[in-house]
């Protein structure tokens, strides 16, 4: 993986994380990219602004990839690039965190085997790095206001803000997205209220089962079920 190692080193990714990646033993669902595929994918991603900060490093051999942010507010974080649905929200705080999770769960053979608590983001726990995450959210929020409604970057920036949102900041940071004109942003905000089992949002979600955009209405019903189940 000398090709990948050189790129990550150039972007100041820690040597300890690179060493972990180099030592990783491939298994079903998790294979470090070979040089040819790495270069082809890098060229393709470089053609789109929404991917500008990403370096792919691992594949499931089914056209899905794990990527590392190497620049911008999310630098060092890991996201999952699916060929089915664009969602570049961070899943892990760092390359080391991602690889440690794979080591701790040796029988997982793809993201579909991951449970919610495997991921660093989103989380129902208040992170010890809460203040750092708030700084990152601040930088993302500045970028969000500068992006246009038609811009994929706007949607993905919103996804990132919501993924990093702590349970203590739900009303401040998630609630505004419930009224967003982007149906995907609205849907994600609703989904995360369900993920957090945020009971104070029940009345809002009930209203959204009628007033939200079509995909949001369905998401609101699902979120309400999760909240109701958490009360039992």
Kindly report the pTM of this predicted structure.
0.96
How many angstroms separate the Cα of 179 from the Cα of each of 107, 114, 138, 187? 40, 30, 20, 10
Taking 90 as the threshold, does the pLDDT of residue 218 lie above it?
A: yes
Radius of gyration of the chain measured on its C-alpha atoms: 18
Number of Cα atoms under 13 Å in the Cβ half of residue 12: 2
144 pairs with which residues across the strands?
none
Taking 70 as the threshold, does the pLDDT of residue 170 lie above it?
A: yes
Number of Cα atoms under 13 Å in the Cβ half of residue 80: 19
Q: Which residues have CB under 8 Å from 60's CB, separation 6+?
A: 29, 30, 31, 110, 111
Given a contact cutoff of 8 angstroms between Cβ atoms, the answer to whether 187 and 219 are in contact is yes
Taking 70 as the threshold, does the pLDDT of residue 119 lie above it?
A: yes
Task: Calculate the average pLDDT of the chain.
Answer: 95
Residue 167: which pLDDT band, with cuts at 50, 70 and 90? very high
Given a contact cutoff of 8 angstroms between Cβ atoms, the answer to whether 65 and 56 are in contact is yes
| Long-range contacts at 101-108 (CB < 8 A, ≥ 24 apart) | 102/24, 102/30, 106/27, 108/29
pLDDT of residue 73: 97
Q: Could you give the percent of the chain with pLDDT greater than 70?
A: 99
pLDDT of residue 231: 75
Q: Which of 42-51, 72-81, 100-109, 147-156 has the lowest mean pLDDT?
A: 147-156
Residue 232: which pLDDT band, with cuts at 50, 70 and 90? low
Taking 80 as the threshold, does the pLDDT of residue 150 lie above it?
A: no
How far apart CA 137 and CA 114 sit, in angstroms, is 25
> What is the sign, positive or negative, of the torsion defined by CA atoms of 46, 49, 55, 61?
negative
Mean pLDDT of the region 84-105: 97
Residue 230: which pLDDT band, with cuts at 50, 70 and 90? confident
Report the alpha-carbon angle 184-192-211, nearest 5: 55
Tens digit of pLDDT for each residue in 20-64? 999 999 999 999 999 999 999 999 999 999 999 999 999 999 999
Q: Which of 20-29, 33-42, 73-82, 144-153 has the lowest mean pLDDT?
A: 144-153
pLDDT of residue 149: 67
Which has more confidence, 162 or 150?
Answer: 162
How far apart CA 86 and CA 49 sit, in angstroms, is 13
pLDDT of residue 146: 87
- H/E element, 152: helix 152-164
């Amino acid at each position: 993986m000398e090709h990948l190692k050189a790129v990550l080193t150039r972007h100041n990714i820690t040597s300890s994380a690179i060493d972990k990646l180099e030592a990783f033993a491939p298994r079903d669902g998790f294979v470090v990219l070979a040089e040819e595929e790495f270069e082809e994918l890098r060229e393709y991603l470089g053609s789109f602004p929404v991917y500008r900060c990403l370096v792919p490093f691992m594949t499931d051999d089914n056209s899905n990839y794990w990527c590392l942010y190497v620049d911008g507010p999310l630098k060092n974080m890991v996201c999952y690039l699916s060929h089915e649905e664009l969602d570049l929200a961070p899943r892990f705080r760092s390359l080391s965190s991602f690889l440690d999770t794979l080591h701790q769960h040796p029988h997982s053979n793809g993201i579909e085997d991951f449970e919610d608590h495997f991921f660093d983001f989103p989380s129902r726990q208040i992170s010890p790095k809460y203040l750092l995450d708030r700084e990152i959210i601040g930088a993302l929020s500045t970028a969000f206001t500068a992006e246009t409604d038609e811009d994929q970057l706007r949607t993905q920036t919103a996804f990132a803000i919501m993924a990093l949102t702590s349970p203590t900041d739900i009303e401040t940071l998630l609630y505004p997205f419930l009224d967003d004109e982007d149906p995907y942003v609205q849907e994600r905000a609703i989904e995360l209220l369900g993920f957090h089992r945020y009971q104070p949002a029940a009345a809002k979600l009930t209203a959204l089962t009628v007033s939200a955009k079509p995909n949001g209405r369905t998401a609101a019903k699902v979120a309400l079920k999760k909240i109701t189940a958490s009360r039992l």
